Amino acid sequence: DGGITQSPKYLFRKEGQNVTLSCEQNLNHDAMYWYRQDPGQGLRLIYYSQIVNDFQKGDIAEGYSVSREKKESFPLTVTSAQKNPTAFYLCASSIARQTLDQPQHFGDGTRLSIL
Amino acid sequence: QKEVEQNSGPLSVPEGAIASLNCTYSDRGSQSFFWYRQYSGKSPELIMFIYSNGDKEDGRFTAQLNKASQYVSLLIRDSQPSDSATYLCAVNAGGTSYGKLTFGQGTILTVHP
């Protein structure tokens, strides 16, 4: 079945530690996105990538880093510079075609907490 | 002013009633609009999208778009308890940012038997 796989489901970070969240898709989508969701809030864009080896900062990129070495994969690293990392992290993908009917499809998310 | 704003909830309706969820956006150049449903603890799932003025129907769901008023809504007819969830409005500005969505804060809907 085609879809987006995020791992792990739950992740705990110690002070001063970098952690990496995995996102893999087999939908053959060009574009991939990372969002952060805090309790009772909407989604805020961290980074997005429309093509391999290229990515752009979203609205809240500070303290995060990404790479896009393969079309299928868009890992997110939460660095120690991100002082409030506790949140629900969602990865999404879409066809990067310049049309109006291109929804984003989401993985199941990763819950990150501080130890 | 927030870029995408949804009516503050929570919204509570009885089973069988029509639930009306509203969303306004600030970027007049916005081109397409998406409604997602998110159950507690789960990821968002697409309900429907709209990009032309007027109504678009899909089963019990109707999306309404008024670009002049910068307003998009979602009507759920014959509401069921299984419709209880958070509904997220998302807007695509188009242009060089094609594919990039801006989300509202969500409206919590509760359908009580």
Q: What is the pLDDT along chain A (115 residues), one digit of tens a residue?
A: 679 999 999 999 888 899 999 999 999 999 999 999 998 888 999 999 989 999 999 999 999 999 999 999 999 999 988 889 999 999 999 987 666 677 899 999 999 998 8
> What is chain B's Cα-based Rg?
14
- How far is it, in rounded angstroms, from Cα A27 to Cα A112? 25
Strand, helix or coil for residue A109: coil
pLDDT at B2: 64
Nearest to A102 among B45, B99, B103 (CB): B99
Instruction: Name the residue type at position B11.
Output: L
pLDDT in tens, B6-16: 987 899 999 99
Q: Is the peptide bond before B14 cis (omega within 30 degrees of 0)?
A: no
- How far is it, in rounded angstroms, from Cα A2 to Cα B58? 24
Q: Return the residue in B37, B43, B108 with the most chain A beta carbons within 10 A, the one to mutate for interface testing.
A: B43
Which residues does chain B have within 8 Å of residue A42's beta carbon, measured at their own beta carbons? 4, 88, 103-106
What count of CB pairs under 8 Å joins A to B?
Answer: 64
pLDDT in tens, B7-61: 878 999 999 999 999 999 998 888 899 999 999 999 999 999 999 999 999 999 9
Provide the mean pLDDT of chain B: 92
* DSSP conformation letters of B21-41: EEEEES-TT--EEEEEEE-TT
Structure tokens belonging to residue B21: 């969820």
Contact B45 A48 (CB under 8 A): no
- How far is it, in rounded angstroms, from Cα B17 to Cα A55? 45
Contact B102 A98 (CB under 8 A): no
